[in-house]
Amino acid sequence: MQQPPLTPFSLNLLLGRIAHEWETRRRIFDLPPARFWAADPSVDLSMEFMGRPAATPLGPAAGPHSQMAQNLVLGWLAGARLFELKTVQILDDLDIERPCIDMQNVGFNIEWSQELLVAESLEEYVKAWMMIEILRDWDPIKPHIGEEPGPHVFDMSVGYDLAGIQSEKVAGFIDSMMDATAVIDRLRPLIPEPFAAYRDHKFPTNVADSITVSTFHGCPPDEIEAIVKHLMDRHGVDVIVKLNPTLLGFPRVIQLLQQDLGYRDIWLDPLSFVDDLDITRGVELIGDLSRYAAKSGRRFGVKLTNTMVVHNDKKFLPADPMYMSGPPLHVLATALLDELLITMPGAFAVAGHDGPIQVSFSAGVTKENVGETIAMGVTPATLSSDLLRPGGYGRLEPMLRQLERDLQEGGARTLREWHELQWDEAKAAGYRGPAEAHLQATLDGDARANYDIAANEGVPRAVDHDLQMWDCVACNLCVTVCPNDAFFRLPTPVDSGLSARQQYIVLAELCNECGNCMVFCPENGDPAKIKAKIYVDQERFSGGSGQGFLITTADGILELEARDGSDGELPRLHEILADADEGIPLRLQDFGA
Ligand SMILES: Cc1cc2nc3c(=O)[nH]c(=O)nc-3n(C[C@H](O)[C@H](O)[C@H](O)COP(=O)(O)O)c2cc1C
Ligand code: SF4
Ligand code: SF4
């Protein structure tokens, strides 16, 4: 039988890892405290997401950073306070081709929903919820996250058709997220020392009660409308509709992408526009749903945007079409926001319009544009592509610092003040508002240098050397670009005969072979396949093939078993795992839980 792409770690193993890693390395899931975020009391970055308070306006978009429990914890440590969870849908045993992510420069992928069973996704989200609740109160990290890390919001994402969303599987998932008492109670006994006092903690049981509807894959307008109404009526949730850049229409997208920004090698499929919403129907739908929400006592919002469907001429990813994100998408989403503000004045909850419809943003947000993005009045700004680049989750904290600096330099103390100041400034410069001002800057101004083809055709550094299991450039990129924190490093033991300062090892259960580390590794080869793969799950180890090593414990002593002829590497792996001062980042006593 084919193996599932991921086998999540138990709550016991994850919390044990947090305690152990902090004690032995002063890190959590490989993130150093210098990249934890603590609020600067002189600026208030808080916002409301559909009426729910969140301490910052940033977080992971539905994607690889919001799928597994440790990913959500990493985002939170780095300052994310709004989490658009990975999309859940009825088809939860999809066979997604690998590699599935290509962040070489622009940003493409071929993923489209969770790679876990729906029941596993539920457990991952609740585990993350519980771990964050524990960590926000954990004394050792308080100097790095501050005494009051502030509120955060988990926002569910579901797709892609009404029948699937009405199914018992997806409806049960939504119900359990809204009242997670049973899951929390099942997980409580797994909370290990030094957190055992939390077994009796009153964890908030409402993990999420808002939903972003992913309208990808040609979800027809009537279906979108029916899904939103169903979610509001049956589940009583507030709903955001995640719109696609196709809403701009084929001629405008071609103009922006190919003519204005110069991406002449990125080909669009006109048919993908035919299946999706057009602007006339889109505007009608947004208006209708906003009125429906008001009548039902619910909130409604839009999210700009999901990825752009394009032809795969690059052939690195093994599927066609593929989905474009990153810098060019930022320009498309900004143009769409400007267009919607022209077409529906006073409808959206952004400065200068002050309507009821919240606008959330996810398209090529980076440290360079976070100030201008938020200045457009959108909250939150969620991201995927930037977090897949070197530094990974560690890119969020500098992004938040940049936003704080932007506000301080602009004389604003709150995001609201920042929106208003930027509105006044844009109007004074003759623009319709900050969205048009930012759009013009990305097309003609100084900012263009971050978005056009010239800025986004470079490739990561390469060295002409074939990657081996031991030794390498030891650049650490595989650790930081991995959304699942599947890679870790250990110092090379003295007298081992190896030359690199660090050795790199994969936690096999957490690696879905997405390809992101392969894209950034400067050596030739795929680190996820070549570097030693260690397993803690007997079944997964036995069901797989190729090099691999099972870790077990006997009387607290680490034992290793090799697979498929990798026995020859056992002594070296043993020496690295057992003899290096830091040791393996997992606690042996937590195995098997
Ligand atoms: C690898 C990858 C997987 C994604 N998976 C989903 C998904 O499951 N559901 C969804 O609505 N959007 C998904 N997205 C889209 C993102 O949520 C986001 O809207 C888009 O990537 C634009 O933001 P970015 O430019 O910061 O990446 C995914 C994006 C990437 C890069
Ligand atoms: S180790 Fe590499 S291939 Fe595996 S999940 Fe992480 S980035 Fe993707
Ligand atoms: S495996 Fe590649 S990416 Fe990882 S540290 Fe070695 S050279 Fe760098």
Choosing from 67, 219, 307 the residue with most ligand 1 atoms within 8 A of its CB, the one to mutate for a pocket test is 307
Query: Cβ–Cβ contacts within 10 Å for residue 411, how many?
Result: 9
Q: What torsion, rounded to 10 degrees, do the Cα atoms 586, 383, 220, 211 define?
A: 60
* Mean pLDDT computed over 280-309: 97
User: Letter for the amino acid at 492?
Assistant: T
> Which residue in the block uniquely carries the two structure tokens 């050397």?
465
CA atoms within 13 A on the CB side of 182: 9
The finding on whether 526 has its CB within 6 A of some atom of ligand 3 is no
**Residues 350, 378: contact at Cβ < 8 Å?**
yes
pTM for the model stands at: 0.98
The finding on whether 472 has its CB within 6 A of some atom of ligand 3 is yes
In the reported structure, the alpha carbon of residue 476 is separated from the centroid of ligand 3 by a whole-number distance in angstroms of 6
Closest ligand to the CA of 109: 1
Exposed/middle/buried for residue 531 (C-beta within 10 Å: 0-12, 13-18, 19+): buried
In the reported structure, the alpha carbon of residue 478 is separated from the centroid of ligand 2 by a whole-number distance in angstroms of 7
Ligand 3 atom 4: the closest Cα is on which residue?
478
In the reported structure, the alpha carbon of residue 506 is separated from the centroid of ligand 2 by a whole-number distance in angstroms of 8
Q: Tokens for 56, please give them.
A: 């910052």
Provide the pLDDT confidence category of residue 592 given band limits of 50, 70 and 90. low
pLDDT tens column, 311-367 = 999 999 999 999 999 999 999 999 999 999 999 999 999 988 999 999 999 999 999
Q: Where are the domains of the chain?
A: 11-456, 477-590
In the reported structure, the alpha carbon of residue 236 is separated from the centroid of ligand 3 by a whole-number distance in angstroms of 48
CA-based torsion, 20, 25, 29, 35: positive or negative: positive
In the reported structure, the alpha carbon of residue 214 is separated from the centroid of ligand 1 by a whole-number distance in angstroms of 10
* Mean pLDDT computed over 239-266: 96
The closest of 131, 137, 130 to 205, measured between CA atoms, is 130
Query: Cβ–Cβ contacts within 10 Å for residue 289, how many?
Result: 22
The finding on whether 528 has its CB within 6 A of some atom of ligand 2 is yes
The finding on whether 112 has its CB within 6 A of some atom of ligand 1 is yes
Question: In residues, how long is the chain?
Answer: 593
The finding on whether 101 has its CB within 6 A of some atom of ligand 2 is no
pLDDT tens column, 8-50 = 999 999 999 999 999 999 999 999 999 999 999 999 999 999 9
Closest ligand to the CA of 156: 1
- C-alpha gyration radius of the chain: 24
**Rounded to whole angstroms, how far apart are CA atoms 136 and 144?**
11
pLDDT tens column, 542-569 = 999 999 999 998 887 889 999 999 999 9
* Mean pLDDT computed over 94-102: 89
- 575 or 580, greater pLDDT: 575
User: Letter for the amino acid at 77?
Assistant: L
The finding on whether 30 has its CB within 6 A of some atom of ligand 2 is no
The finding on whether 136 has its CB within 6 A of some atom of ligand 1 is no
The finding on whether 78 has its CB within 6 A of some atom of ligand 2 is no
The finding on whether 530 has its CB within 6 A of some atom of ligand 3 is no
Q: Tokens for 444, please give them.
A: 């003609």
The finding on whether 383 has its CB within 6 A of some atom of ligand 1 is yes
* Mean pLDDT computed over 114-123: 94
Ligand 2 atom at minimal distance to the Cα of residue 64: 5
With vertex at residue 360, the alpha carbon angle to CA 317 and CA 352, rounded to the nearest 5 degrees, is 140
The finding on whether 477 has its CB within 6 A of some atom of ligand 3 is yes
**Rounded to whole angstroms, how far apart are CA atoms 65 and 123?**
16
Q: Which fold has domain 11-456?
A: TIM Barrel (3.20.20)
Provide the pLDDT confidence category of residue 584 given band limits of 50, 70 and 90. confident
The finding on whether 528 has its CB within 6 A of some atom of ligand 3 is no
